[in-house]
Amino acid sequence: MVGNATIPIFSSFFLVGIPGLEVFHCWLSIPVCFLYALTVTGNSLIILVIREESSLHQPMFFFLCMLAFNDIAIASTTAPRMLDIFWLDARVIGFDVCLAQMYLIHTFSIIESALLVVMAFDRYVAICYPLHYTTILTTPLVIKLGVISVARGAIMVLPCPLLIKRLRYCTQNVIQHAYCEHMAVVKLACSNTYINRSYGIFVALSVILLDIGLISVSYVKILHVVFRLSSKDARSKALGTCAAHICTILITYTPALFSFLTHRIGKRVPPSIHIIFASIYLLVPPAVNPMVYGVKTKQIRERVVILFFRKKDKVSKH
């Protein structure tokens, strides 16, 4: 036995996938593959359109570009590993690789939440202070907000793998999950996990409560200004600019809250249901966000059409 070892006895973990649904893994791989392909294609298109069209070089679209990059990143840390399990039955994952995946998944998740807050602030400034929009949301401020969003996620999650390194794994190395999730890894330890659990809950609650609180305050102020407008068309136009962002918030936070609550207090929820919702949280929003912004945002929709028709015209001329 190793006493107070900082090195785990197990050098690798075994990912089950979705417990109880192993016989359906091949079929479950179809939506996972489809959502991942949609994520990469849709978000790459958003980034390309914003990059190519100088008229979209505005704070709102810079934040959308950041969100698109993060969506590709968060899906890429999850989907390929899941497809390895579903297609190749490659369930063994190295201890350090597992911690790296766990760190990246939770970091990108917190960055996603921070970017939604920043985008709510962008809509608040655009609607409440339209004449000062460009002077308030300058390029340096946009960059700072992006850096702060990334730094917050990276710093807050860093103690999680470091605290796990302190734990001993002496009897179990089978993770009842399709990827390395913080609590799923912590639960396997045979040493005291109170600090790990406490810090995990602190991070989750502080991020959810702070970010949802800030978003709520922004939209209360936005609604206060919008409903004071005399013109019905002006009210509709103002609310229309927020539609895509509100849809993204609902798509992101609904499965996230369900996953968080079932993991902590939903003892009777089957593990397969919890893992499916946890996977939905990581795979569905990144795939749906480009479609939401493509449909709801007039500038994006028009530029996508122009970009494709312009390319078709060039091809036909040649």
Predicted confidence at residue 264, as pLDDT, reads 62
Domain borders along the chain are 12-312
CA contacts within 13 A on the Cβ side of 92 = 3
CB atoms within 10 A of CB 275: 25
Predicted confidence at residue 9, as pLDDT, reads 62
Give φ, ψ of 142 to 5 degrees.
-60, -45
Predicted confidence at residue 306, as pLDDT, reads 75
Give exposure, 218-227, as e/b (b: 16+ Cβ within 10 Å): bbeebeeebe
Partnered with residue 92 across adjacent β-strands are 14
Predicted confidence at residue 312, as pLDDT, reads 55
Helix (H, G, I), strand (E, B) or coil at 15: strand
Instruction: Write down the residue that tokens 């999650």 correspond to.
Output: 157
The four Cα atoms 213, 219, 220, 223 give a dihedral, to 10 degrees, of -170
CA distances from 219 to 66, 236, 245 (A): 21, 15, 11
Give φ, ψ of 12 to 5 degrees.
-155, 165
Predicted confidence at residue 152, as pLDDT, reads 96
- The matching CATH number, chosen from 3.20.20.140, 3.40.718.10, 1.20.1070.10, 3.40.1080.10, for 12-312 is 1.20.1070.10
Rounded Cα–Cα distance for residues 309 and 92 (Å): 47
Predicted confidence at residue 8, as pLDDT, reads 46
CA distances from 251 to 15, 95, 142, 194, 289 (A): 27, 32, 24, 32, 8
Q: What is the pTM of this model?
A: 0.88
Predicted confidence at residue 310, as pLDDT, reads 65
Relative to beta strand 92-94, strand 12-15 is antiparallel
Rounded Cα–Cα distance for residues 48 and 65 (Å): 9
- pLDDT in single tens digits along all 318 residues of the chain: 444 444 446 788 999 988 888 888 889 999 999 999 999 999 999 998 888 888 888 898 999 999 999 999 999 999 999 999 999 888 899 999 999 999 999 999 999 999 999 999 999 998 888 889 989 999 999 999 999 999 999 999 999 999 999 888 888 889 888 999 898 899 888 888 999 999 998 998 899 899 999 999 998 888 888 888 777 777 777 777 677 778 888 888 887 777 767 666 666 778 788 888 888 889 999 999 888 887 777 777 777 777 766 655 555 555
Find the DSSP H helices in 137-270: 139-157, 159-165, 182-186, 194-226, 232-264
Q: Please classify residue 257 by burial: count the beta carbons closer than 10 Å to its beta carbon, then call 0-12 exposed, 13-18 middle and 19+ buried.
A: middle
